Structure 1
Amino acid sequence: MQKIVEEERMINWTYGKAQSAAYPLEHLDSIEPTSGGINQKSVLTIAVYGDKAEHLQLLPNLLEKLVMEKWQAYGKKTLYTQLAIFVLYFVCVGTCFYHRPSPFERNQDASSDLICVHDLKTRKFGDSSKWIILYHILHLICVTGAALYLVQALLHIKNVGYHLYVLGLSGFPAKAIFLFSCILMVSTFFMRVFCLDETEDIVWVVIVLLTSLKFLGFKSVGPFVLMLYKIIIRDLMRFFLIYLVIVVGFSQAFYVIFLGYKRDKTGHQEKSIMSNVAESYVRMFIMSLTEFTVFFEQLEDCEHTVIGKITFVVYMLLVTLLLINMLIAMMTNTYTEVSGNSLEWLRQWSAIILMMEQSFNPATRLRYQRRYSARFDGGDALVLFVKDKMTVSI
């Protein structure tokens, strides 16, 4: 790659050990200089979306300079604009949720009951409190905002194609989760139409939780988010697979042991904390959090107390001492790996820039590209001017 760049670059001026070189953007930039489309075979696109460690080595120096120019040209303004719009949307969602009457309030006060479509003919707005009217107004604003976010995502897919959109979205789980929350928000409108109050209560709780996660997709928290993504995808997934195997095995063992729990005078078994299979799974999870007082008390009333205690000790050794400490070690290793590799953070930042430009139409991309590029000696090819030393590396 270095040889190709050295062959294509054009020297503008040289002064001592410093020089100004012009690098054609045709194969470097993710934006095609002629059509404004996304060049999936460009060096920048491969470096950002490549899955090999060697791809990271392409980012420093020249490509880093290119990303910085993109950031100054349109990235900073676009990101802060998106942040401001999202803050307004988030405040609207939070305020709407705050003014939503609880089930208890709806049952106690008729004026706090939510308005449904079939109520419009018989119910007057004067019968509802001002807070209910405010809630419905905010709800419509939130639904409209969520619908606009979804329309923006559809336009994004139309601009770059489904495959490239999913590829870019794979690096930002927070954005994918936020889009799912927008779908839920739009669904609450139809729940209001069909008066599904209880279902809507549950959906609203999920919406508020998922909407706040979009804050993780902005540049200021990038390195920490990258650590979080890697810990969840790599460390926690492996941990829970092993943990699930152990929990399933020991839960069934304790379920069988508790079949010998004490019985009443009629010969029926008294209710225990592991009276059914589903309860045994939950109890195993609670025990892994070192809460086993009730379990140990009821274990004394089982016929197989000794084998139960031995099984309990083995379970606590495996989960509490071995697995938990192994998880801590894996997360520490991931933290050290990400914090010690600045290129991972550079890739994440570059992915944010590329995700922005993919949402633009071709004409807008070309207009932004003109801001950080120029034509060398009046030629047709767009180039990026870089001042550096005589030796150039990518």
Structure 2
Amino acid sequence: MGNRASASHLSASSGDKTQATGGSTLYELADLHGGGKIIDQFRLIYQSDDPLTQSNFNQFLRNTIKPFLYNDGHGKLVPVSTLVEERENYRLGGVRKTKRKLLQYKKYYSMTQIIKDQHDIDPGSLEHDEHGNPCRLVCWDIAKRGSVGENIVHLCLLLNNPFHTDLARRIIAVFPKLAMDIYLGDEYYGEGPLHMAIVNRDFFLAKFLIDLNAPVNEIACGKFFFPEDQKMKRVSNTNYEYVTVADDETDYEGFAYYGEYPLAFAACLEEMDICKLLIRHGAYINAKDANGNSVAHLTVIRNLPEMFDFALEHGADIYAKNNRGYNCLTLAAKMGNKEMVKHILELERKPYWTFGEVSCAAYPLSSLDTIDTESGLEGSIDRKSVLNIVVTSDNPRHLDLLDGLIVEILEQKWALFARKKFYQHLITYIVYLIIFNAAFILRPPFQPDPGTSHCVARNDTRQDYFLCPRVANGASKVIDSKDIGRLILELLTAGGSLGYLGSLIIDFNRQGFHIVFQSLVNAPTRFLFLLSCALVTISIPGLFICALTRYANVTWFLAIILAWPYCLFFCRGFRLVGPFVLMIGKMIKGDLLKFMLLYLIFLIAFSQAMVVSFAGTGGSRMFLNSPLRAIEGMFILSLGEFEEIEPEFDKAPHPIFVKILFVFYVVIANVLLVNMLIAMMGKTYETTVETRKEWKRQWAQTVLVIETSIKPKQRLQYQEKYSEALGDGHDGRAVVMRWQHDEIEKKRDHKRKIRKLNELADLLYKKDLEKRKNNKIANTIRNAINKGKTKPPTSNLESIRGKNLEMKNKRADILATVTNPGMILQATTRAGGSRPVSPQQNENTDNDASHQIVNPEEE
């Protein structure tokens, strides 16, 4: 945290200037080693209670620190452009480059303006000069700061111990404007004392700073506070001090990615008391950082269900999307966080009934189903939906999400339309493949006379051009029934290929390129089949032009090879062979690819060694006298065919050396590499068998591929069949599901009930305290009136009576929500403990021994 990294290692690549003992006059006052004039002086009076001594030390602080401040500690407005330029100088190690351009992207609209326009809050401590230019109030002189733009308060808080924290408090009390001063270096830009107090988990210091008007919506946008994979993608703007990112793609993994705002810092660190304090003083809970993540998003990233509930209770918008288009639910699915996905779904569901341990509820399909109903393109495929993310991802963590509600939706789709479409596609493909193979088998061999042209000028009918091989061979009978059947089959094959390609073009126009491309990625064998159809289509002219017949044959050879793997796509839909198809795919993409890479290295190396060994020997039967034939011969040797090549070894100039090479090659290629391939495939097989849900994901991908080929209107019609309207004034649809409670859900529900009872008990106790205070005031006034000391303040008495009546009514409403008002006290007696009281509660409540509240941890 802070500039500690610059003190621990002198790395020029970090973008910070090296912190040295004599590099800045700031370090004469205080440094990270616990030295400095101010620290030494404070150490002398730290334990003193003498008011005069304390007053003298405060005067010492004024005299010592004033030369480092603007306007004797009142600060001055510095243009944001100057601060951004200074930050760039820190990034470049102090070297000014006036020609360096600060990138400015229109799509990254100013964070400041976004917050002002949408949320109507103060984004920090920015002000404007007489010309309307954005400025920041800066207290500590920019030229007299530390190596990463820090001041003495930052140094003290960075050490994070009671001694230095007390000193920082003393300094801020003398110069209150320092509570708003931030780091100006690029590494920690924007981090202020309030951020550091939150990281240090110091509630009282945070409250002290807020009381001195420290901005609760300050943004810490330094490099240190970004995800690791975005630190080199940050973009500065001369008009605004906040930093954006040139690329939104990130995994959100970072050592200190806490969301930039103090409230986000407190939420990520699970400081609920500080969160309440910040919200009470105007912190906006839906403020977004450079990645578009709000507090709710960050609790999902950090896997903090309780803080997510806290954010939701305080007005967090869990449906807001970040820069990558993910709301809280879809973000949890993207990160493979099963706990948060389940937690959010439980909060969104609408319970219908509960019978013992069995419950029934409606789960809204918004952001859950692949069929979009909210973006204005009703019926289109939502690529950011939970279902699409889970099914199309290759991350093993997403396999755990393939159960419960997700599988229920997939099974509903399979039963309604996917299974029927699946068998229709299968039958159509089998018919096409039979016709294709029959046409290919019936094609006659093409053997033209070497002494004649491939196309002989003859006085034949136009029909003869379909029979180019027979014409070229000079057959006595140009056409027969076999040729007619072949022509019909070829035309049917060409027509089927055009039909498949036409349906692909329709899908592109209907769904868009990205959705169709993703479906082809999920089904690579389908892509190969469509490529086969394209080859058949471009070979159609070869049926009419004799000169293109040879090229048509080549394209048909490739097309027939690429058409057959599509069978594996349909095999994925059957539980009997589906897992084996998955194993074959994994072995080809992983094990076989690695093996071929290593095998080719040894094959080429030994084959070229053989070429050198047989150089100049000649011989028509020699396999090893050219580079290409040497590779062919060594490959045959690896298959164990020694009879034809082994006698040639004695013709080499050095036969013993050749035989030694041969032995080494056989050992490496046949023994080592082949056995390694077998071992890798065995491991892949075991891993795939252990992952039971892997086949289910392949089956789910088949369902989504079929869904992509359906018209949007039909998708909406099918969705209406497996879902129902939410009702009760809610738009959208939901899927109804019954489930049996597990132990985890039981414990979570129990904790929620206890927490609600605690909140009720807390509220009742505060109302009771308020009633006691009001009664005490009323009794005091009544006694004063009876004694004749003062006239009755009618307005006060009426106000107190009104408050007492309102309090009684509210308490009656609260008690009405609880079946047995004594259950709270009974639960308290069983727990035998008291609920931890937050610091702000401790200031407003007295030590009443009878106030015993249930502690969820103890319960």
Give the TM-score, by structure 2 length. Answer: 0.42
Q: State the distance in 2 between where 1:123 and 1:155 align.
A: 36
SS state at 2:565 partner: helix
1:1-394 pair list within 5 angstroms: 1-34=341-374, 35-103=378-446, 120-121=461-462, 123=464, 127-195=478-546, 196-218=548-570, 219-220=573-574, 221-259=577-615, 261=617, 269-271=618-620, 272-377=622-727, 379-391=730-742
Deviation at 1:142, TM superposition (A): 0.9
Q: Contact between 1:155 and 1:359, CA under 8 Å: does it hold in 2? A: no
Deviates more, 1:242-251 or 1:220-229: 220-229
Q: State the distance in 2 between where 1:31 and 1:222 align.
A: 26
Identity of aligned residues (%): 33
Q: State the distance in 1 between where 2:560 and 2:494 align.
A: 13
Aligned length: 378
Can you list the C-alpha shifts for 1:46-80, whole angstroms capped at 9, x where unaligned?
10122322222211111011111110011110000
Deviation at 1:328, TM superposition (A): 0.7
Deviation at 1:119, TM superposition (A): 5.7
SS state at 1:13 partner: strand
SS state at 1:384 partner: strand
Unaligned runs of 5+ in 2: 1-340, 467-476, 746-859
Q: State the distance in 1 between where 2:550 and 2:498 align.
A: 23
Can you list the C-alpha shifts for 1:184-203, whole angstroms capped at 9, x where unaligned?
11122111122222232333
Q: State the distance in 1 between where 2:465 and 2:669 align.
A: 60
- Rg: which structure is higher? 2
Deviation at 1:208, TM superposition (A): 2.4
Can you list the C-alpha shifts for 1:314-355, whole angstroms capped at 9, x where unaligned?
111111110000011111111111122122111111111111
Can you list the C-alpha shifts for 1:234-277, whole angstroms capped at 9, x where unaligned?
1111111111111111011011111153xxxxxxx333111211
Deviation at 1:158, TM superposition (A): 2.4
Q: Contact between 1:159 and 1:360, CA under 8 Å: does it hold in 2? A: no
SS state at 1:181 partner: helix
Q: Which residue in the other structure is 2:269 paired with?
A: none
Q: Which residue in the other structure is 1:264 paired with?
A: none
Deviates more, 1:380-389 or 1:118-127: 118-127
Q: State the distance in 2 between where 1:337 and 1:122 align.
A: 59
Q: State the distance in 1 between where 2:357 and 2:650 align.
A: 83
- For the structure 1 residues 389 and 130, does the alpha-carbon distance in structure 2 shift closer, same or farther, using more than 3 Å as the test? same
Q: State the distance in 1 between where 2:643 and 2:633 align.
A: 11
Deviation at 1:97, TM superposition (A): 1.9
Q: Contact between 1:374 and 1:382, CA under 8 Å: does it hold in 2? A: yes
Q: Contact between 1:23 and 1:384, CA under 8 Å: does it hold in 2? A: yes
Give the TM-score, by structure 1 length. Answer: 0.90
Q: Which residue in the other structure is 1:110 paired with?
A: none
SS state at 1:14 partner: strand
Q: State the distance in 1 between where 2:416 and 2:731 align.
A: 21
SS state at 2:644 partner: helix
Q: State the distance in 2 between where 1:157 and 1:26 align.
A: 25
- For the structure 1 residues 312 and 124, does the alpha-carbon distance in structure 2 shift closer, same or farther, using more than 3 Å as the test? closer
Deviation at 1:148, TM superposition (A): 0.7
Deviation at 1:19, TM superposition (A): 1.3
Instruction: Return the structure number with greater relative CO, CA threshold 8 A, min gap 6.
Output: 1
Q: Contact between 1:25 and 1:33, CA under 8 Å: does it hold in 2? A: no
Q: State the distance in 1 between where 2:465 and 2:623 align.
A: 52
Q: Which residue in the other structure is 2:63 paired with?
A: none
Q: Contact between 2:381 and 2:515, CA under 8 Å: does it hold in 1? A: no
Deviates more, 1:234-243 or 1:221-230: 221-230
Q: Contact between 1:257 and 1:302, CA under 8 Å: does it hold in 2? A: yes
Q: State the distance in 2 between where 1:371 and 1:310 align.
A: 73
- For the structure 1 residues 260 and 294, does the alpha-carbon distance in structure 2 shift closer, same or farther, using more than 3 Å as the test? farther
Q: State the distance in 2 between where 1:124 and 1:15 align.
A: 78
Q: State the distance in 2 between where 1:88 and 1:251 align.
A: 46
Q: Which amino acid aligns with 2:405?
A: L
- For the structure 1 residues 123 and 217, does the alpha-carbon distance in structure 2 shift closer, same or farther, using more than 3 Å as the test? closer
Q: State the distance in 2 between where 1:124 and 1:199 align.
A: 15
Q: Contact between 1:260 and 1:303, CA under 8 Å: does it hold in 2? A: no
- For the structure 1 residues 223 and 119, does the alpha-carbon distance in structure 2 shift closer, same or farther, using more than 3 Å as the test? farther
Question: What is the aligned-residue RMSD (CA, Å)?
Answer: 2.4
